[in-house]
Structure 1
């Protein structure tokens, strides 16, 4: 029987008998494992790994948050309005207190956000937030955020864990760290509604569960899930997908997100066979993207030849080389590589991919595509000298600018484009939607001309979820908040 995993935004369930029932057997807790290292669960500062982001989001609330389906919901802001031109967002802050008993005010929220924005300068997230022109208070509980240009999914951008509000070292999230154990595990306990500015609920403690969270290497996380020691495994990637059991008895436990973001190869050197954009383009042209993930039996994956997905580019946009078949592209690429080798040069490239059996499968497909044009590929471990390296990142919000910000010269200098950066800055300050779009399209054109990145398609993210665990749903952000997992519907 063919074992096929489908990208879907629909939730699946599975009887406990088929999902490998087990876990701790304690109905008052949920066992969760992130694929990662224990130190990531307790990260400080504003440069967070996926496990660190999830713990931060659960313990430090922002103005808004995400629910299990990836939809924006109230957090410290109880409600908000958006002006018709999309340039002002006005939030009413919830009537609640900090842990020390002092009231939470709009001034504190404003000051926290402004401080965070200053600290994020020079990062890609800081660039994403560059459209914020002002943050000011209107009353003790009302705050207004003004933008220089409309930002699609701006509320989604405000849900980022790094934008959680702090006051004198205090936080006011939906959950609190109950214990941080010596082995690196973290226990999160839901905060009562009255501690979050909400009406008290009778028997609240009976409707919630603690979350026992650990971080494990991929193989250990798989073993823990299939042995029944954990109920959920988060942050699975393509490199680890072959470790997950996608057979008929496990159908429904592997949940894949139709994620948005960047998945491709960044050029690390601009000499040798990659020293000319014409040859770098030859590598991009030769890849059989339609068959790239065929060894994984993944249905619905979206390949791409562009930095910005075509779906975000508007009318008339298309993939690169639209009038050329794969064989025609390879003929062109073969001629370019042959011109290089005829001069006595070698056409060898080294690719750095994350450790895992999925990386070997992906490498095999890339090597096969490049062998067809006379290029020999070698797989090297992360940290070793390489010509190309994997980029695998989830989008923070659903606008074209996020994709361009990842290649800003302030973030990455090799084969960046100051001209593209200037166009993005112009777009940030451009209120006219059509001019804004035109600037971003031209910026992508400048970046693609450098051929410093070989797009492959959408990122792959998956989770393992036991059938009787509520509070989980695949979503386009591939982000799964922890708080909904603590709510017991029984």
Structure 2
């Protein structure tokens, strides 16, 4: 085995050479595989989403704070009833130099929406009735009912519009002599936009290094990266308890789904009451306690109480029961199953690699053992009975959560009745009626016990003091273009 100090010395020498050739470049370490550079289509890894949003634009995009900003559309208006969005396209060009027109942009948008059919994001956009061309540079999106989060949805990386398979920027991807991925802002005049006198002075290159989580953290800690992106719960222990208080580690205030998805309905897991037994057995406070993160809270709800359209009529489950009482009741269901002569084999739980996943597994193993179940950890791509999911919400409404758990997306366990209520809510133009229908849907989907919530997700990054273009935000999303601009 090669000594660690020898590896780090070689790494330092290699990166030192890169630093000499990339003076003034912002060095970014990304947790992920360099294969993200070759991903295409609309099923993208988090690293590929980051790259897509840098080199491909939709009608709108995000700034560093997660706010919607102009992209291909330089302005827009929303009608009083919220069922029509009118976008005026910028006076620019496609990658081949042809002028951007509403006809081409609308066709690209229709194709993008069609490609999302069968996915949760496609359900989020299901209220779009028509994409119409109103004038040479004006597009109108007509909705069957108001979609307050439409601009946020249109800013997603998957909503980028392609022209002959290419994106419009705002960045171009290349490589330097050392093989690093270099992202550079495209001069405005090359995109058919007015020239900016201070462009050369303000624009800086970004050098992205894709690495395993431990190597990415080492790059930051050893001074070879100014920004580290891609942190999740599975890698959180790599940040270190000192880093969390030192100021370099940034936690995003995200909401979303973090828990166990039922992937098999064979045997014991075929009954909703038995799946509920697993949910009752988990000591959520103990799971959180293994990470020592202040303000992180467990939950038994499939929808975050922080969403705008939560009526507050559905609370946490099993209120008034202690963990011990819940586990005793769950143990009774397991004992009854076994008492009927039915075996329960060891359950496989698919999890991503990483020390954080290990901490979660250890607590689950302890909790499930208390009710008479044994579990085994397998790889996140392996076939399993249960799967640990960790997804940050794309927008802050109940529909995001319920669409993630719909029968369209989750094949093993779902609630057709819950989906019907969501579909009814999607058509409702009365906010109160819509919220009531979504509450009914949550109740139905919760009762199916196809997803076992544990807590809200965590997203973390490491950022060197004084780095511009980065900010914690509610989506856990850190686009590259803002980091490529130096302050005025």
Structure 1-normalised TM-score? 0.90
Would you say 1:99 and 2:95 are equivalent positions? yes
Would you say 1:43 and 2:47 are equivalent positions? no
Give the count of matched residue pairs.
469
Match of 1:8 in 2: none
Secondary structure class of the residue paired with 1:292: helix
For the residues of structure 1 that align with 2:323 and 2:238, how far apart are their CA atoms?
A: 31
Would you say 1:120 and 2:116 are equivalent positions? yes
Bigger relative contact order (CA 8 A; separation at least 6): 1
Kindly provide the CA deviation profile for residues 221-244 of structure 1, in whole angstroms up to 9, marking residues without a partner as x.
112222222222211111111112
Using the TM superposition, give the Cα deviation of residue 182 of structure 1 relative to its aligned residue in structure 2, in angstroms.
9.2
For the residues of structure 1 that align with 2:176 and 2:57, how far apart are their CA atoms?
A: 20
Match of 2:353 in 1: 355
Match among 323, 327, 336 for residue 326 of structure 1 = 323
Structure 1: give runs of 5+ residues left out of the alignment: 1-20
| Alignment CA distance shift 1:240-1:107 (3 Å) | same
**Contact 1:22 1:228 (8 Å CA) reproduced:** no
Structure 2: give runs of 5+ residues left out of the alignment: 1-15
**Contact 2:202 2:487 (8 Å CA) reproduced:** yes
Match of 1:14 in 2: none
Kindly provide the CA deviation profile for residues 284-313 of structure 1, in whole angstroms up to 9, marking residues without a partner as x.
112121231212111122322121112322
Secondary structure class of the residue paired with 1:355: coil
Using the TM superposition, give the Cα deviation of residue 263 of structure 1 relative to its aligned residue in structure 2, in angstroms.
0.8
Using the TM superposition, give the Cα deviation of residue 124 of structure 1 relative to its aligned residue in structure 2, in angstroms.
1.7
Secondary structure class of the residue paired with 1:52: helix
Using the TM superposition, give the Cα deviation of residue 32 of structure 1 relative to its aligned residue in structure 2, in angstroms.
1.4
Kindly provide the CA deviation profile for residues 105-154 of structure 1, in whole angstroms up to 9, marking residues without a partner as x.
12221111001111111222111111111111211121111111222322
Using the TM superposition, give the Cα deviation of residue 28 of structure 1 relative to its aligned residue in structure 2, in angstroms.
2.2
**Contact 2:95 2:191 (8 Å CA) reproduced:** no
**Contact 2:77 2:87 (8 Å CA) reproduced:** yes
For the residues of structure 1 that align with 2:124 and 2:268, how far apart are their CA atoms?
A: 34
For the residues of structure 2 that align with 1:59 and 1:383, how far apart are their CA atoms?
A: 29
1:93-172 matched pairs, under 5 angstroms? 93-172=89-168
| Alignment CA distance shift 1:120-1:243 (3 Å) | same
Match of 2:9 in 1: none
Would you say 1:316 and 2:313 are equivalent positions? yes
Match of 1:13 in 2: none
Match of 1:470 in 2: 468
Structure 1 stretches of 4+ with a deviation exceeding 6 A read none
For the residues of structure 2 that align with 1:129 and 1:482, how far apart are their CA atoms?
A: 25
Match among 81, 85, 91 for residue 81 of structure 2 = 85
Secondary structure class of the residue paired with 2:290: helix
Match of 1:337 in 2: 334
342-351 or 352-361: bigger deviation: 342-351
Would you say 1:482 and 2:477 are equivalent positions? no
Using the TM superposition, give the Cα deviation of residue 455 of structure 1 relative to its aligned residue in structure 2, in angstroms.
0.8
Match of 2:262 in 1: 267
For the residues of structure 1 that align with 2:54 and 2:167, how far apart are their CA atoms?
A: 11
For the residues of structure 1 that align with 2:196 and 2:295, how far apart are their CA atoms?
A: 43
1:204-223 matched pairs, under 5 angstroms? 204-223=199-218
Match of 1:3 in 2: none
Secondary structure class of the residue paired with 1:389: strand
The structure with the greater share of residues assigned to helix is: 2
Kindly provide the CA deviation profile for residues 172-227 of structure 1, in whole angstroms up to 9, marking residues without a partner as x.
221112338895x4211102233455542223112111111122111121122222
For the residues of structure 1 that align with 2:447 and 2:243, how far apart are their CA atoms?
A: 46
Secondary structure class of the residue paired with 1:414: coil
Secondary structure class of the residue paired with 2:66: coil
For the residues of structure 1 that align with 2:41 and 2:379, how far apart are their CA atoms?
A: 28
Secondary structure class of the residue paired with 1:24: helix
For the residues of structure 2 that align with 1:145 and 1:249, how far apart are their CA atoms?
A: 44
For the residues of structure 2 that align with 1:442 and 1:36, how far apart are their CA atoms?
A: 39
1:182-201 matched pairs, under 5 angstroms? 185-196=180-191, 198-201=193-196
For the residues of structure 2 that align with 1:68 and 1:368, how far apart are their CA atoms?
A: 40
Match of 1:442 in 2: 440
| Alignment CA distance shift 1:355-1:248 (3 Å) | closer
Using the TM superposition, give the Cα deviation of residue 344 of structure 1 relative to its aligned residue in structure 2, in angstroms.
3.9
Kindly provide the CA deviation profile for residues 422-457 of structure 1, in whole angstroms up to 9, marking residues without a partner as x.
222222222222232222222222222221111112
Structure 2-normalised TM-score? 0.90
Match of 2:6 in 1: none
